[in-house]
Amino acid sequence: MANLHFHYGVMGSLKSVSLISSEFNFRKTGVKVEVLKPSFDNRFSESEVVSRMGGPENMIRTPAIALPSLDNYSPKKDTKVLLIDEVQFFKPSDIDKLVKFADKMGIIVMCYGLTVDSNEHLFPAAQRLIEVGATLHLIESNCQKPGCLRKATHHLRYDKNRKLIREGEQFSIGDESYESVCRKCFNQAYYGKSK
């Protein structure tokens, strides 16, 4: 099994559910797992990975170590698997540290996150995962535009008045102002036409 993995998909593609499921299955067989997340992601919890699946009253969750970066982090001696949620919020140098954990310590590192922002730009951490040869796993989801059943590949970002945002911070928390869409619907909304 490859030691460095990147499970990626759009918002709402159940990436966190996949992470939580992996953590459950590893622990069930007695494998020592650590779950990490960027402290920047505090939407639902500061110390858990949380999935909205199940609705507001029954969200699925698992404990996690929240870190601003991996600069001062080292896995515990008996850790066999690292699961990292919202990996796009880490730095490229954090990805290089994950590579060392995988290659020098033999730890299975499984990252979950987005590849591109709402302006079609790669997140630096996602780009670094691709550059270092992480095994890529696409988690597919459908376009959220009514009646469209194409594969979602992009995000549209809106302000509180539902006006499309085309610039600003690459890192933003929250998904009530985002819509996961296919390339065709993205181009229609973002550029006013199909490219």
**Any alpha helices (H) in 29-181, and if so which ranges?**
92-105, 124-131
What's the pLDDT at 54?
A: 62
Is 106 among the domain residues?
A: yes
Alpha-carbon gap, residue 78 to 44, rounded angstroms: 29
Catalytic residue among 23, 86, 131, 167: 86
What's the pLDDT at 45?
A: 57
Q: What is the pLDDT along the chain (195 residues), one digit of tens a residue?
A: 569 999 999 988 888 888 989 999 999 999 999 999 998 765 665 676 777 666 667 666 788 999 999 999 999 999 999 999 999 999 999 999 999 999 999 999 999 999 999 889 999 999 999 999 999 999 999 999 999 999 999 999 888 888 888 876 656 655 458 899 999 999 999 988 655
Is 102 among the domain residues?
A: yes
Give the CATH number for residue 113: 3.40.50.300
Question: How many domains is the chain built from?
Answer: 1
Count CB atoms within 10 A of the CB of residue 76: 7
Q: pTM of the entire structure?
A: 0.88
Query: Quick check: is 86 catalytic?
Result: yes
What's the pLDDT at 61?
A: 74
Angle at 94 between CA 91 and CA 101, to 5 degrees: 160
Surface-to-core class of residue 77, CB atoms within 10 Å of its CB (0-12 exposed, 13-18 middle, 19+ buried): exposed
Q: Tell me, what amino acid is at 54? A: G
Answer yes or no: are the C-beta atoms of 151 and 182 closer than 8 Å.
yes
Answer yes or no: are the C-beta atoms of 3 and 109 closer than 8 Å.
yes
Is 94 among the domain residues?
A: yes
- Give the residue carrying structure tokens 């929250």: 174
What's the pLDDT at 178?
A: 85
Is 143 among the domain residues?
A: no
What's the pLDDT at 31?
A: 96
Is 192 among the domain residues?
A: no
Which run of H or E residues covers position 194? Answer: none
